[in-house]
Amino acid sequence: MRSDNTTRLPTLGNSNKLVCVDGVWRQASQASGIDYSDGHEEESILHETLTQANNLAWNSPELAGPYRSWAQEYHLSPLRANLLRGLRLPEAGRVLEVGAGCGAVTRFLGDHGFTVDAVEGSASRARLAHARCAGLDNVSIISADFHRLQFPEETYDLVLFIGVLEYAQRFAADGLSSRDAVIRMLTRATQALSANGKIIIAIENRLGAKYLSGWPEDHLGMPWSGVAGYPVGSAADAGIRTFDKTEWNDIFRELQLKHRSFFPLPDYKLPEAFISEDGHDAPGASAIYGRYVSVNRTPAPKSLAPARLQQNALYRAGLLSSCADSFGIVVSRSDDGLDGLMPHDWIVFGASAGGTDPGLCIKSGANAASKFTRFNENDRPITLPHGEPLYQYWLKCAMAGVTQDEFSKFVAGHLRRAIQIGLQPPGWCLMASEDGELASEIFPWPSEGDPPSGIDNQLWATSVLDEFFDFAQSDIESRVDLGSWEGVAGLKQQILHCLSNFSADAVAWAGNFDAAIYWASGEAFSEEQKSAYRSSGQGREVLTFNLPESVRADMRLRFDPSDQETGPKTVTVKLESMLLFAAQDASGVDLMPALKRVGVDACNQCELKPTADGVSLIIRGNDPWVVIDLASLGLPSHLRLERVEAHLDWGS
């Protein structure tokens, strides 16, 4: 696919009189294209960068930054290609890319074997796209106005409008409304589609979460202009407009087209993650959109409103499809043409902007995650923790009316518990359980790598707080009742002061040990018949012990709450509930009555004291256990058991 010049006659060349000048095709009779530019200085820097690069591939590390401006990042970043990496695209089909810009997505398509007609109205940008696609003889760059070209019917497998349709009215010559201009462009694109062809659209959402928080509209730099509907006669009436979910549904209904949406996060411009239309409530999805939050793409200041808090509140309420900052939309003539197009519920694309490192994903309908390795069906499952990112939980608490002292002690308590149990990964990996406790499991973000070993506790806590305030500072500073809060710097120091002042007695008995369930049909229990769970020994937690198919309802179970030495002290934990689940049984069998009946002979190094709302376990050694005879429950002996869930409160 590589040659010295990208001068292949475009597929649309048979429908138009084209000439090739310095590798770029244009209409022989066309005097000029459209007037759209990032400025002479920016384009000169882009040209110099591209012509000096040894590697022009879509994921070239030479083009992965750092960047000196937004224009350079947008036109060079390998993140641009993530918009398409989550879709199952046809193999090496024919593509019409409308508004190719400087060729970042064009290069991705060319590198993956597609035959590409890349149309760009700006002559200077078309030259840059030609430079980016140097050496690809399956890519043709056409510098022309979309509206002046004729397209061969039923030809292209894909037609792309990436960051284009918001400008439909501005570059329509005959005064159409924005909506009618979009319909006309989509109509022409549909006529050019092959029988199973698809249109891919990427565009901002008029009612995106950041706009609903008062952030400036990306194109106009003014807050509320899109939310207000771009009223005629106002400064927002500039021939540029985006659309909301309902408006898109109406457009596709009028055109008798079918569509599916996906949501690139934080937006379509530089996507780091992808959530499909059906993936908003998949396991782990709340952690994905909780991290990849809104980004301001304008030089105008952001509104002093808690945008990150509001965004996550909207998404957690099920409004991602209506309030995502950007839409990705795939359009087809029939629903059949859209089946299987999005094989993942969500994807995190990984640490490397160029996609050289595997990311993390969850396949459609799956319960466990896996590495994102391009639709590999044999990926090893990765268990995801329940809860939400700790940073997001801290932000919610900060905005919920607590005092600075209360908040400082609360955050320091989480950090203390993490240090106690040896849980010191990068901060984004930390999770809060549903009851607000520090979760003992971390979220396996691909971008974080392995947790460092031997890190100084104070340095680790400082790095976690720095990252939290980088995420949450604008929201915290938007509090209208900030009152005596001393700002971020003072708050950070107070948290660290609280952390250093916890007494030795408070950390005398730490968690990070194994709890276990054993099973036996005779008298003796053994390590070969054991299911263990790593316990934090802190706050409330749910221990889930998965049992093999060989465990039956006529066996005995032994519950070991810990394997940690207590020294001369006793440790009390409340067992709030314990449930035994058989296969295909969602309700479970309550084991608490049986526990309350066990005698002293059924216990070792622990004492059981029944209470009105559970059982208190008083632990006096490193090998405490209690035996439960399942036969006393009267369950069918052939019943196959699936798991045991124990709900404990270590703080009681």
Could you tell me the maximum CA-CA distance found in the chain, to the nearest angstrom?
98
Mean pLDDT of 275-281: 95
What does the block give as tokens for 87? 């879709």
Q: How high is the pLDDT of residue 454?
A: 61
% of the chain beyond a pLDDT of 90: 57
Residue 122 and residue 167: Cα distance in Å, rounded? Answer: 13
User: Under a CB-based contact definition with an 8 Å cutoff, are residues 83 and 108 in contact?
Assistant: no
Q: How high is the pLDDT of residue 55?
A: 96
Mean pLDDT of 320-344: 95
Residue 114 and residue 94: Cα distance in Å, rounded? Answer: 6
Residue 253 and residue 255: Cα distance in Å, rounded? Answer: 5
Residue 606 and residue 623: Cα distance in Å, rounded? Answer: 9
Residue 2 pLDDT > 80: no
Q: How high is the pLDDT of residue 68?
A: 93
Q: Find tokens 């801290």 and name the residue.
A: 394
Mean pLDDT of 441-463: 79
Sign, CA torsion 56/60/65/70: positive
Three-state SS string over 426-445 comes to CHHHCEECCCCCECCCCCCC
DSSP-based three-state secondary structure for 135? coil
Residue 497 pLDDT > 80: yes
User: Under a CB-based contact definition with an 8 Å cutoff, are residues 560 and 518 in contact?
Assistant: yes
Mean pLDDT of 620-647: 88
Residue 405 and residue 640: Cα distance in Å, rounded? Answer: 52
Confidence tier at 633 by pLDDT (50, 70, 90): confident
pTM confidence score = 0.78
Q: How high is the pLDDT of residue 3?
A: 39
For residues 278, 181, 325, 365, the Cα torsion angle rounded to the nearest 10 degrees is 10
Crossing angle for the helix pair 123-132 and 40-52, nearest 10 degrees?
Answer: 20
Residue 562 pLDDT > 90: no
Q: How high is the pLDDT of residue 378?
A: 57
Least confident of 91-95, 253-257, 513-517: 513-517
Mean pLDDT of 51-75: 94
Q: Which residue has the higher pLDDT, 352 or 39?
A: 39
For residues 310, 313, 315, 318, the Cα torsion angle rounded to the nearest 10 degrees is -140
State how beta strands 344-348 and 326-332 pair.
Answer: unpaired
DSSP-based three-state secondary structure for 645? strand
Phi first, then psi: give them for residue 86, nearest 5 degrees. -90, 0
Strand-pair partners of 515 = 533
User: Under a CB-based contact definition with an 8 Å cutoff, are residues 558 and 626 in contact?
Assistant: yes
Residue 57 and residue 353: Cα distance in Å, rounded? Answer: 12
Give 181-237 pLDDT, tens digit per residue. Answer: 999 999 999 999 999 999 999 999 999 999 999 999 999 999 999 999 999 888 888
User: Under a CB-based contact definition with an 8 Å cutoff, are residues 202 and 268 in contact?
Assistant: yes
User: Under a CB-based contact definition with an 8 Å cutoff, are residues 98 and 161 in contact?
Assistant: yes
Residue 481 pLDDT > 80: no
Mean pLDDT of 607-630: 89
User: Under a CB-based contact definition with an 8 Å cutoff, are residues 58 and 81 in contact?
Assistant: yes
User: Under a CB-based contact definition with an 8 Å cutoff, are residues 589 and 643 in contact?
Assistant: no
Per-chain mean pLDDT for the chain: 88
Q: Cβ–Cβ contacts within 10 Å for residue 71, how many?
A: 18
Residue 34 and residue 167: Cα distance in Å, rounded? Answer: 11
Mean pLDDT of 375-396: 82
DSSP 215: P
Mean pLDDT of 455-462: 89
Q: Find tokens 């078309």 and name the residue.
A: 126
DSSP-based three-state secondary structure for 308? helix
Residue 160 and residue 87: Cα distance in Å, rounded? Answer: 13
Confidence tier at 1 by pLDDT (50, 70, 90): very low
66 prior amide bond cis, ω within 30: yes
Residue 578 and residue 608: Cα distance in Å, rounded? Answer: 14
Written as one letter, the residue type at 192 is A
Residues with Cβ within 8 Å of 89's Cβ and at least 6 positions away in sequence, in order, are: 112, 158
Q: Is 297 exposed, middle or buried (0-12, 13-18, 19+ CB in 10 A)?
A: buried
Residue 32 pLDDT > 70: no
Give 300-327 pLDDT, tens digit per residue. Answer: 776 778 889 999 999 999 999 999 999 9
Mean pLDDT of 515-532: 88
Phi first, then psi: give them for residue 217, nearest 5 degrees. -65, 135
Strand-pair partners of 272 = none
Q: How high is the pLDDT of residue 5?
A: 46
Q: Find tokens 């947008």 and name the residue.
A: 74
Residues with Cβ within 8 Å of 27's Cβ and at least 6 positions away in sequence, in order, are: 16, 17, 18, 19, 144, 148, 149
CA atoms within 13 A on the CB side of 584: 2
Written as one letter, the residue type at 594 is A
Q: Which of 184, 180, 182, 150 is nearest to 167 (CA)?
A: 182
Residue 236 and residue 226: Cα distance in Å, rounded? Answer: 8
DSSP 100: -
What does the block give as tokens for 278? 């059906």
Confidence tier at 374 by pLDDT (50, 70, 90): low
